[in-house]
C-alpha cells in the first residue's frame, strides 16, 4: 500500500456569455413559455464583457492567480471592483474567450457534428494557433462551412446554433435522425463537457513533473450523460478526453453523483492508487451548459450583471507517494449512508466529525474546510443565501454541541476555518474540489497542515430516490506517513538472518 498524493491540479473557466442567452435552461424555458418577456428583452443589457469576466476577483481565485484570503480582502460587490490588468492565464489554467472555445469544441468533435462559418473559422484558427497548449495537428482540425448551409440546418432544427454578438458563427448538428439521446441539444452539451474537460487536462499536463503519457486511468465527474437510445448514459467522457489530451496509456470511466461526483472521483482515484492498481489517476470534469444564467432573472431584477456566464472545468492528478506532495488520507473518509438521515446534524456528523473521530482529530485540527464553494454574489440575489457560510455555521454549531468549541467561538471558527465562495454555480464544479489547488499550494508553503474536501449531491433531483448524498476526505502535509510500508533496517536484518539459517540448515541436511 502506498499513500495517494495530490500531484497537481488545474482549473479553467470559459466565457459563455452568448451561449448563456441561447442555451441556458432558464432562458430556454422562458423563450418557450413567454417569448416576449421583459426578462428576455432586458437580458442582453446585463451581460459582461470578456475583460470583466477575466477581471472578476472570484474568477481569478478559481484559476489560482489570487488566494482565497486575497479574495476575502477585495471590496464587494466584486463585480463592481474588478482586478485591473488581470491575467487570462495562471499556473493552473486560464479563462478562455468564447470564440476560441467554439474552435476547441470543433477540435473535440470526432463525428463532424460541429460546423464553423468560414470567416469565423479562419479567425479562430489563427487565435488558437497562438495557444500555448495546442499543437498544429489539433488546430488543423478546424475548418469552415458555408453560412447558408449552417443556417439551413438551424432552420430545419437539426442543429443547435452558436452566436457571437447576434451573428451565427457555428452550429452543432444532431448525431442521429431519430435518436433523442443524440439530438443536437445533447450533442452540444456533451461536446462542451468534452472540450472544457480537455482544456483542463491540457493545463494539468503542462505542470512540472507531470507527463500525461504516464496517466493510467481517467475518471470523469461532470453531470451530463453520453449514450444513445439504447444506453442513455453508456459513457464515456473520460476516455474521449484521454484520447485527445495525450493520455495515450489510459483508459477510464465516468462517475456520477450529481455535485458530489468530484469528491467521489477523488476518493476512487485515491483507492486505485493506494491499492497499486494504477499509479496515476486523473479526475476531470467539464462544464454545464444548462446552468448558464440559471439565476439570471434574479440578477436582472436586482439590476446587476448576470454572473453565471462561464463554464467551469478542472483536473486533478492523484499519484503514488513522492514524499513531498500533499497526501489524501484513506483512513478518514466521510460518507452519508442510506441510513444516515437528513437532519443537518446527521449530515455534518457523517461527513465531518465521524471521519475525524476515526483518526482522533477534532474539528479544529482541520485548518480549512472546502464545502459547497458557490460564489455568494451569484446565489444571494436569488434567495439561496451564502451557501459556504451556511455550511461553515452548521459545522461550527456541531462543534459547539460536541464541546469542541465554545459557543462564543462559533463565528471565529467560520472566519478561520472557512473561506468565501469563489466558484461559479456550475453544479459539480463548486462542490469541494475548487480548493484542492489552493490546499496543495498552502500545504506546500507551510501555511496550513490539513484541509477537508466535502462534496454534496442532490440525488433527489433524478427522481430515483429522496436520498441526498455526500462524501469527504482529508488532504494533509506529506510527512513521510506514506513510507510506513518501506522495509526497516531491523526487518532487513531479520530477512538476512532467516536466509542464513535456511542455508545452514540445508547444508546440514546435505552433510547427513
Partner 1 sequence: MLDGKKVVIIGDRDGIPAPAIRECLETTGAEVIFGSTECFV
Query: Least distance from C-beta 36 to partner 1, angstroms?
Result: 28
Q: Which stretch binds partner 1 (CB under 8 A): 206-214, 401-409, 412-420, 423-431?
A: 423-431
What are φ and ψ of residue 409, in 5° steps? -95, 0
Q: Does 458 engage in binding with partner 1 (CB under 8 A)?
A: yes
- Output the CA angle 399-404-409, nearest 5 degrees: 75
Q: Which stretch binds partner 1 (CB under 8 A): 34-42, 210-218, 337-345, 482-490?
A: 337-345
Q: Does 24 engage in binding with partner 1 (CB under 8 A)?
A: no
Determine the Cα–Cα distance for residues 215 and 282; give it in Å rounded to an integer.
Answer: 7
Is the distance from CB of 414 to CB of 393 less than 8 angstroms?
Answer: yes
Query: Least distance from C-beta 78 to partner 1, angstroms?
Result: 18
Query: Least distance from C-beta 409 to partner 1, angstroms?
Result: 23
Report the DSSP beta bridge partners of residue 168: 163
Q: Does 460 engage in binding with partner 1 (CB under 8 A)?
A: yes
* Nearer Cβ to partner 1 (67/353): 353
Report the DSSP beta bridge partners of residue 95: 13
Q: Which stretch binds partner 1 (CB under 8 A): 160-168, 277-285, 384-392, 409-417?
A: 384-392
Q: Determine which residue in the list 339, 466, 488, 509 makes contact with partner 1, applying CB under 8 A.
A: 466
* Nearer Cβ to partner 1 (75/383): 383
Query: Least distance from C-beta 149 to partner 1, angstroms?
Result: 40
Query: Least distance from C-beta 294 to partner 1, angstroms?
Result: 9
Q: Determine which residue in the list 49, 231, 249, 342 makes contact with partner 1, applying CB under 8 A.
A: 342
Who's near 223: CB < 8 A, 6+ residues apart? 256, 258, 259, 261, 288, 427, 428
Q: Determine which residue in the list 333, 387, 433, 453 makes contact with partner 1, applying CB under 8 A.
A: 387
Report the DSSP beta bridge partners of residue 172: 114, 160
> Residue 370's closest CA among 446, 449, 456, 435?
435
* Nearer Cβ to partner 1 (231/342): 342
Q: Determine which residue in the list 50, 341, 367, 401 makes contact with partner 1, applying CB under 8 A.
A: 341
**Count of residues that interact with partner 1, criterion CB under 8 A:** 25
* Nearer Cβ to partner 1 (122/390): 390
What are φ and ψ of residue 488, in 5° steps? -85, 170
Q: Which helix (H) or strand (E) holds 244?
A: helix 237-244
Binding-site string for partner 1 from residue 343 to residue 382, where x marks contact by CB under 8 A and - marks none: xx---------------------------x-x----x--x
User: 473 vs 140, 185, 459, CA distance in Å?
Assistant: 42, 36, 20
Centroid of chain to Cα 133: 20
Query: Least distance from C-beta 458 to partner 1, angstroms?
Result: 4
Q: Which stretch binds partner 1 (CB under 8 A): 280-288, 330-338, 339-347, 497-505?
A: 339-347
User: 183 vs 189, 193, 418, CA distance in Å?
Assistant: 10, 16, 43
Q: Does 227 engage in binding with partner 1 (CB under 8 A)?
A: no
Determine the Cα–Cα distance for residues 327 and 475; give it in Å rounded to an integer.
Answer: 5
Q: Determine which residue in the list 205, 430, 437, 455 makes contact with partner 1, applying CB under 8 A.
A: 430
- Provide the 10 A C-beta neighbour count for residue 411: 12
Binding-site string for partner 1 from residue 467 to residue 486, where x marks contact by CB under 8 A and - marks none: -x------------------
Q: Determine which residue in the list 319, 350, 391, 472 makes contact with partner 1, applying CB under 8 A.
A: 391
User: Strand locations in 112-260, DSSP E?
Assistant: 114-117, 144-145, 159-164, 167-173, 217-220, 251-254
* Nearer Cβ to partner 1 (2/375): 375
Query: Least distance from C-beta 280 to partner 1, angstroms?
Result: 32
Q: What is the DSSP secondary structure assignment for residue 104, as one 8-state letter?
A: H
* Nearer Cβ to partner 1 (103/455): 455
Query: Least distance from C-beta 431 to partner 1, angstroms?
Result: 9
Q: Does 390 engage in binding with partner 1 (CB under 8 A)?
A: yes
Per CB under 8 A, contacts with partner 1 among 258-297 are 258-259
* Nearer Cβ to partner 1 (342/502): 342
**How do the residues of the chain divide into helix, strand and coil, expressed in percent and rounded to 5?**
45, 20, 35
Is the distance from CB of 124 to CB of 141 less than 8 angstroms?
Answer: no
Determine the Cα–Cα distance for residues 495 and 126; give it in Å rounded to an integer.
Answer: 64
- Provide the 10 A C-beta neighbour count for residue 394: 16
> Residue 426's closest CA among 309, 328, 333, 338?
309
Grid cell in block for residue 117: 462559418
Q: Determine which residue in the list 383, 403, 489, 490 makes contact with partner 1, applying CB under 8 A.
A: 383
Q: Determine which residue in the list 273, 456, 471, 476 makes contact with partner 1, applying CB under 8 A.
A: 456
Residue numbers of the site for partner 1 (CB under 8 A)?
Answer: 258-259, 341-344, 372, 374, 379, 382-385, 387, 390-391, 425, 427, 430, 456, 458, 460-461, 466, 468
Amino acid at each position: 500500500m502506498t499513500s495517494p498524493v495530490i500531484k497537481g491540479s488545474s482549473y479553467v473557466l470559459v466565457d459563455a456569455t452568448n451561449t448563456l442567452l441561447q442555451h441556458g435552461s432558464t432562458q430556454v424555458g422562458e423563450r418557450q413559455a413567454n417569448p416576449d418577456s421583459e426578462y428576455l428583452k432586458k437580458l442582453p443589457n446585463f451581460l459582461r464583457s470578456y475583460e470583466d469576466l477575466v477581471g472578476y476577483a472570484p474568477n481569478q481565485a478559481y484559476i489560482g492567480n489570487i488566494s482565497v484570503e486575497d479574495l476575502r480582502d477585495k471590496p464587494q460587490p466584486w463585480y463592481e471592483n474588478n482586478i485591473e490588468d488581470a491575467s487570462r492565464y495562471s499556473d493552473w489554467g486560464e479563462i478562455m474567450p468564447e470564440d476560441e472555445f467554439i474552435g476547441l469544441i470543433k477540435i473535440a468533435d470526432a463525428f463532424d457534428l460541429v460546423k464553423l462559418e468560414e470567416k469565423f473559422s479562419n479567425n479562430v484558427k489563427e487565435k488558437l494557433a497562438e495557444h500555448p497548449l495546442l499543437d498544429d495537428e489539433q488546430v488543423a482540425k478546424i475548418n469552415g462551412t458555408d453560412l447558408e448551409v449552417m443556417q439551413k440546418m438551424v432552420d430545419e432544427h437539426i442543429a443547435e446554433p452558436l452566436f457571437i454578438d447576434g451573428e451565427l458563427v457555428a452550429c452543432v448538428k444532431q448525431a442521429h435522425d431519430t435518436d433523442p439521446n443524440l439530438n443536437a441539444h445533447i450533442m452540444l452539451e456533451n461536446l462542451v463537457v468534452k472540450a472544457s474537460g480537455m482544456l483542463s487536462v491540457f493545463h494539468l499536463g503542462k505542470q512540472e513533473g507531470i507527463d500525461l503519457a504516464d496517466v493510467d486511468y481517467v475518471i470523469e465527474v461532470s453531470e451530463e450523460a453520453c449514450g444513445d437510445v439504447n444506453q442513455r448514459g453508456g459513457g464515456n467522457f473520460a476516455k474521449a478526453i484521454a484520447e485527445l489530451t495525450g493520455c495515450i496509456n489510459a483508459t477510464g470511466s465516468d462517475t456520477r453523483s450529481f455535485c458530489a461526483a468530484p469528491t467521489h472521483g477523488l476518493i476512487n482515484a485515491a483507492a486505485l492508487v493506494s491499492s497499486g492498481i494504477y499509479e496515476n489517476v486523473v479526475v476531470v470534469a467539464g462544464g454545464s451548459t444548462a446552468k448558464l444564467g440559471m439565476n439570471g432573472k434574479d440578477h436582472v431584477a436586482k439590476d446587476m450583471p448576470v454572473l453565471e456566464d462561464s463554464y467551469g472545468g478542472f483536473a486533478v492528478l492523484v499519484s503514488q507517494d513522492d514524499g513531498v506532495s500533499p497526501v489524501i488520507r484513506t483512513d478518514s473518509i466521510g460518507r452519508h449512508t442510506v441510513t444516515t438521515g437528513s437532519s443537518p446534524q446527521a449530515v455534518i456528523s457523517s461527513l465531518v466529525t465521524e471521519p475525524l473521530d476515526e483518526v482522533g482529530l477534532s474539528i479544529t485540527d482541520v485548518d480549512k474546510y472546502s464545502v459547497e464553494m458557490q460564489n455568494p454574489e451569484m446565489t444571494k440575489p436569488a434567495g439561496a443565501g451564502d451557501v459556504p457560510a451556511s455550511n461553515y455555521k452548521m459545522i461550527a454549531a456541531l462543534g459547539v454541541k460536541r464541546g469542541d468549541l465554545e459557543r462564543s467561538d462559533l463565528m471565529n471558527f467560520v472566519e478561520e476555518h472557512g473561506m468565501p465562495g469563489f466558484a461559479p454555480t456550475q453544479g459539480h464544479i463548486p462542490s469541494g474540489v475548487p480548493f484542492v489547488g489552493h490546499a496543495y499550494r498552502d500545504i506546500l508553503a507551510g501555511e496550513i497542515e490539513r484541509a477537508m474536501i466535502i462534496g454534496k449531491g442532490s440525488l433527489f433531483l433524478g427522481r430515483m430516490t429522496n436520498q441526498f448524498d455526500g462524501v469527504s476526505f482529508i488532504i494533509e502535509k506529506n510527512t513521510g506517513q506514506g513510507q510506513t510500508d518501506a522495509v526497516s533496517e531491523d526487518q532487513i536484518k531479520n530477512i538476512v538472518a532467516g536466509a542464513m539459517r535456511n542455508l545452514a540448515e540445508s547444508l546440514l541436511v546435505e552433510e547427513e
